[in-house]
Amino acid sequence: MNLTQIAKIARREYLARVRNRAFIVMTVLVPLFLGLYVFSVPLLSRSGSRNLRVAVIDGGTGLGQPLANRLRSIGRPSITVTDVVTVAANDTSSRDRFGAAVRARTLDGYLVVEPDVQSAPTARYVARESSNPTLIRELRLAVQSVALDKLLAGTGVDGNEVRKTQQLTLDSITLSDRGERPGGFQAAFASTMVLGMLLYIAVLINGQGMATAIVEEKSSRLIEVILGAVTATEFMTGKILGVLGSGLTQLAIWIAVSLVALLQASPALALGAAPGFDMSAILNVRLIFYFAVFFALGYLLYSILFAVVAVTCTSTEELGQTMMAAVLPMVVALMVALSVIANPATTMTRVLSLFPFFTPLVMLARVNVLMPPLWGVWLGVAIMIATSAAAGWAASKIFRYALLMTGKRPTLPELMRVVRAG
């Protein structure tokens, strides 16, 4: 292997990747979109602050008027109670009237409270938009509160004291060997999703670019000229190093941006986030370090996979169809990684995080949620390096065999024979 030759192939591939419009656009847009995603999760649930017009139907519980007062006191979303009616159990006329108003959009919804012989009163909210979780929670609390007051009336127990015990919060703190830090499902989910998507998108764009270039070189027969000057192994190594370089460039840009965000803008970020949503769970130096390690390794392994897929294709159409095979493990890995967040300590999780095609995302999710023992993390790293080395070795054999093939695609058994034959 001639290093100068490899460097020249790598240089061309690197320049072709980073000059590509998709590279430039994604390097800027991806962090932008992911940033929006992270912030929009808490923001979305706070929306809907406009005034809602709600009618109350009391089916004989006696809660109608107190409930209306309670609803008026809700600040977000603010509620105007348009009507409070008390009706007999089998009287549906009010419901029909309010239903028509909701359909005509003169009313946003109506709340029905009815007595239940066996338990507490039941409540039902009927509206065009009935899925806003904040509103539903507020309505439930309001009904609960007035029902409680009614229940406690005359017992001498202070309703406010009871409510206080009901509002007790439970904080979740992640305890690891390095100490405590606040954590939570939401933060871990968002950060794993973000980091996973960054890796996924970087590999997809640059790997696909390289794969297309290889197929182009094959189908245009440029490869014959190139192979007159470099060996197949030098060619492949240069390609993979070039595309790895482009990925690391992207990574460096993203890390630089996030470090700047971490140092300069963290107070501002903390203000923008919802309570219970800790930005430091996403942007902290330890996580960024492991992200860089797993990004580089995952990127390398998937680049080799993409290169092998590309070299067995003879046209870009074929490549498009076959690419799915290389992308699939990453999609599965992302799904596994997200499920790991809920169960970070199971045996299944440990095993899956050591499977090299899953390690970058799944191990990262583990590091993110519940720091595994260091030897476990570095075992994953070692397995990935060993797998990449073996994959590179097999790939160079496949390259030697398939680079000059045209028309016919090599079959899988054929390729396995080639790799075994050495």
Partner 1 sequence: MASTAALVCRQLVKVFDGTRAVDGLDLTVERGTIFGLLGPNSSGKTTTIRTSLGIYKPDGGSVELLGSRDPLAVRQRTGYLPEERGLYAKMKLREQPAFLASIRGLALAESDRRASVWLDRVGLGARAASLTRELSKGMQQKVQFAAAVIHDPELVVLDEPFSGLDPVNSRLLKELILEQRARGTTVILSTHRMEEVEALCESICLLSHGHPVLNGRLRDIKAAYGRNTITVEYAGAAGRLDKIPGVQACDDSGRDARLRLESGADAQRVMRAIFDRVEVNSVRLDEPRIEDIYLEKVGSSRVAEASAAQEDV
> What residues line the site for partner 1 (CB under 8 A)?
5, 8-9, 12, 16, 213, 216-217, 219-222, 224-231, 404
Residue among 8 and 163 whose Cβ is closer to partner 1:
8
* Residue 225 Cβ vs partner 1, minimum distance, rounded to whole Å: 6
Shortest separation between residue 12's beta carbon and partner 1, angstroms: 5
Asked if 210 contacts 306 with a C-beta cutoff of 8 angstroms, the reply is yes
The amino acid sitting at 407 is: G
User: Quick one: 221 or 286, whose CB is closer to partner 1?
Assistant: 221
Taking the complex as a whole, how short is the minimal distance between the CB of residue 220 and partner 1, in angstroms?
Answer: 2
Q: Tokens representing 409?
A: 């695609």
Q: Which is nearer to partner 1, 358 or 401 (CB)?
A: 401
Task: Give 230 or 310: the residue with its C-beta nearer to partner 1.
Answer: 230
Helices (DSSP H) in 220-284: which residue ranges?
A: 222-227, 232-264, 266-272
**DSSP strand E in 52-168: where?**
52-58, 79-86, 109-114, 122-127
Closest of 294, 299, 293, 320 to residue 309, by C-alpha: 320
- Interatomic CA distance for residues 396 and 129, integer angstroms: 59
88: buried, middle or exposed (CB in 10 Å: 19+, 13-18, 0-12)?
exposed
CB of 422 to partner 1, least distance (A): 14
**Nearest approach, Cβ of residue 316 and partner 1 (Å):** 11
The C-alpha atoms of residue 282 and residue 330 are separated, in whole angstroms, by 21
Classify residue 166 as left (phi > 0), alpha (psi -120 to 50) or beta: alpha
Q: How far is the CB of 247 from partner 1 (least distance, A)?
A: 19
Cis preceding-peptide flag for 329 (omega within 30 of 0)? no
Give the SS3 label for residue 84. strand
* CA distance to 194, 264, 339, per residue, from 191 (Å): 5, 19, 13
Between 229 and 342, whose beta carbon lies closer to partner 1? 229
Quick one: 161 or 224, whose CB is closer to partner 1? 224
Question: What phi and psi values does residue 312 have, to the nearest 5 degrees?
Answer: -90, -5
Closer residue to partner 1, CB minimum distance, 47 or 220: 220
Q: Least distance from C-beta 299 to partner 1, angstroms? A: 23
Minimum distance from CB of 212 to partner 1 (Å)?
10
**Minimum distance of partner 1 from residue 307's CB (angstroms):** 17
CB of 180 to partner 1, least distance (A): 53
Residue 76, both tokens: 């977000």
**CB closer to partner 1 out of 219 and 322:** 219
Q: Which of residues 94 and 396 has its CB atom nearest to partner 1 in the complex?
A: 396
In angstroms, give the least distance from the CB of 308 to partner 1: 20
- From CA 67, how far away is CA 284, in angstroms rounded? 46
Q: What are φ and ψ of residue 175, in 5° steps?
A: -105, 120
- Taking the least distance from each CB to partner 1, the nearer of 222 and 416 is 222
Q: Beta strands 109-114 and 52-58: pairing type?
A: parallel
Q: How far is CA 25 from CA 37, 250, 258, 296, in A?
A: 18, 11, 18, 21
Pairwise CA distance, residues 60 & 87, whole Å? 7
- What's the start-to-end Cα distance of the chain, in Å? 17
* Rounded Cα gap, residues 357 and 71, in angstroms: 53
163 versus 400: smaller Cβ distance to partner 1: 400
Alpha-carbon gap, residue 211 to 145, rounded angstroms: 63
